[in-house]
Amino acid sequence: MGWTVLLGRRRPRPRFRPHLEHLDDRCLLATVLASPMTHHLAAEVRDHTLALGRLNPGSATHAQGARHAARHHAGSGQAREYPAGTMTSGAATAYDSLIGASTTRSTYGVDGSGMTVAVIDTGVDYNNPALGGGFGPGAKVIAGFDFADNSSNPIATTSQHGTAVAGLIGSSDPNDLGVAPGVRIVALRVTDSSNTASLTSIANALQWVIDHHTQYNITAVNMSLSDGRNYAQNWFATGGGPAEQITDLIGQLKALNIPTVAATGNSFDGTDQGEGFAAIVNGTISVTATDLSDHLLSNAQRLGTALGGSSATTIAAPGVGTAPSGDSGTASVEGTSFATPLVTGAVVLLQQIYQSRFGTLPSVDQLRSWLQQGSDPVYDPVTGITIGRLDIPKAAALIPQPTPPAPPAQTTAPSTVTPVAAPVVFTPAAPVAAPAAPVSQVPATAAASAANPPSTPAGSTSTGTTATAPTFEDMLQAMSVWAAASGTAGWTTGAMQVQVWSA
């Protein structure tokens, strides 16, 4: 497979090299079956076109021209994009040893299950067994839409580019697994029969993702598309039209923690740094391509931070390998189009690890940080910049662990101090003197009688024991004696009556 040239209206070839604002002809490239001669011809036309529209950051005139042209095309419904890569038949090429997808899956027990990626591309041949062999609820390709033909069936027809992209993300073929083989796919076709996509279709697809992300749990968007131009800044942020709308929609997705992973494009002219649209949009995770020896592909666009700032290329990944194609086949692939889905699959694995720990998706900025800090540096001798190449295990190792809850404070139980009660001193009250008994004048005879009790009557026998206490009868007798002696009235000895006095 190779490049096919789709030309718009013809104009006389200029004698001089015009600035970008003078470039009206549209050269659109697509990945379809073609002969090697077609491929070379297309590459020559592509390089010539880019030379006409080269963006020179050091030239104010060129910068103004680029701004004008970008706004013109962004505001026009005729602006088009095309798949950023080629597909050919050939032997399998391994990339897993570089990016470590299988190691990450086994180490963390993740494979993308429960998550969904929206593939905005040429459609997906969901009949391929590697992609589940079906379409709709319960299938791997769970939903989709064809925005080019306004159809609910997003199956790939004229190009299997989208099928290959979806397979690199989530193929479940045990002989050629995708990075996240458990993930589901939403296929959003935006290319027409000429394998080119209008910016309006792309904007509609992004809006569809926003409207349905909760329904299908869409956690990432893959856009392996580019307009074939080279930008060091995003001139599309203003000026109206679908390009500005795409910029805004990517920002809305970012706010939902859904990254848009976009290919930088295959239009590097060997000199000028830059990226195509929509990779140049601030907020995307932009991806360039390497070979299996960690060299940037010769035509892969790249943009360093010194020139591109926040729009600089985020990460590189291998852009060569094999991927599903058609109902049951595979194809060898090459280009930034096919480096991008490797990063998208990696994003899904990182999201799943983070969500298992924190119950939510990480932010797009967190994902970018882990991807870049965990990458392996690749130096580009052509531009002098260094871009990190994807290393999923290193990126996963940077995901934080949840902070364990603080143990309860170790406090010593307060000592219970039992207050010592002050001794209660009982001060005995002064004894109250009992009223003195009235003193009575006891007659001498009575006193003598009391002092000398009558002796034991004659004839009584003494037992030799202590005499018992006087009985009540004895006391009455003694009182009777006293009463008789004192002459007190009210006493009758014979009746044994006693008169009681009031106290």
Q: Tell me: the pLDDT tens digits for 364-412?
A: 999 999 999 999 999 999 999 999 999 999 999 999 999 988 888 776 6
Residue 477 pLDDT > 90: no
The contacts of residue 266 (CB under 8 Å, 6+ apart) are 84, 85, 226, 289, 297, 299, 300, 301, 335, 336, 337
- Taking the C-alpha atoms of residue 301 and residue 390, their distance in angstroms, rounded to an integer, is 16
Mean per-residue pLDDT, 1-14: 33
Task: Give 388's strand partners.
Answer: 377
Residue 258 pLDDT > 80: yes
| This prediction's pTM | 0.68
∠ CA 160-166-170, rounded to 5°: 145
| pLDDT one-digit tens code per residue, 142-185 | 999 999 999 999 999 999 999 999 999 999 999 899 999 999 99
Average of per-residue pLDDT values in the chain: 77
**Nearest CA to 394 among 11, 104, 177?**
104
Residue 264: what pLDDT?
98
* 420: confidence class by pLDDT, cuts 50, 70, 90: low
Residue 405: what pLDDT?
83
**Nearest CA to 378 among 280, 308, 291?**
291
Helices (H) and strands (E) in the chain, counts: 13, 17
Residue 60 pLDDT > 80: no
Residue 189: what pLDDT?
98
b/e map 236-254, b = 16+ CB within 10 Å: bbebebbbbbbbebbeebb
Task: Give 316's strand partners.
Answer: 288, 389
Other C-beta atoms within 10 Å of 454: how many? Answer: 8
Residue 22 pLDDT > 80: no
More confident site: 8 or 269: 269
Peptide bond into 255 cis (omega under 30): no
More confident site: 293 or 75: 293
Sign for the CA dihedral angle at 38, 231, 198, 287 comes to positive
Mean per-residue pLDDT, 251-275: 98
- The tokens describing 325, both together, are 């194609």
Q: What share of the chain is helix, strand, coil (3-state, %, to 5)?
A: 35, 20, 50
Residue 10 pLDDT > 60: no
Are the beta carbons of 64 and 71 closer than 8 angstroms?
no
Residue 419: what pLDDT?
60
Other C-beta atoms within 10 Å of 209: how many? Answer: 23
Residue 42: what pLDDT?
30
Are the beta carbons of 273 and 303 closer than 8 angstroms?
yes
Residue 417: what pLDDT?
57
Domain boundaries, the chain: 88-397
Element (H, E) at 306: helix 305-308
Q: Three-state SS across 215-262? A: HHCEEEEEECEECCCCECCCHHHCCCHHHHHHHHHHHHHHHCCCCEEE
* 430: confidence class by pLDDT, cuts 50, 70, 90: low
More confident site: 322 or 469: 322
- The tokens describing 468, both together, are 């018992």
Sign for the CA dihedral angle at 248, 252, 254, 259 comes to negative
N- to C-terminal Cα separation, the chain:
142
- Taking the C-alpha atoms of residue 272 and residue 270, their distance in angstroms, rounded to an integer, is 7
| pLDDT one-digit tens code per residue, 61-83 | 333 333 333 333 334 334 676 67
Q: Write the class of the CATH domain 88-397.
A: alpha beta
Task: Give 262's strand partners.
Answer: 223, 286
- Taking the C-alpha atoms of residue 233 and residue 282, their distance in angstroms, rounded to an integer, is 9
Among 188-192, 329-333, 423-427, name the one with the lowest average pLDDT: 423-427
Q: How many angstroms separate the Cα of 68 from the Cα of each of 228, 236, 269, 487?
A: 17, 10, 21, 155
Among 175-179, 278-282, 423-427, name the one with the lowest average pLDDT: 423-427
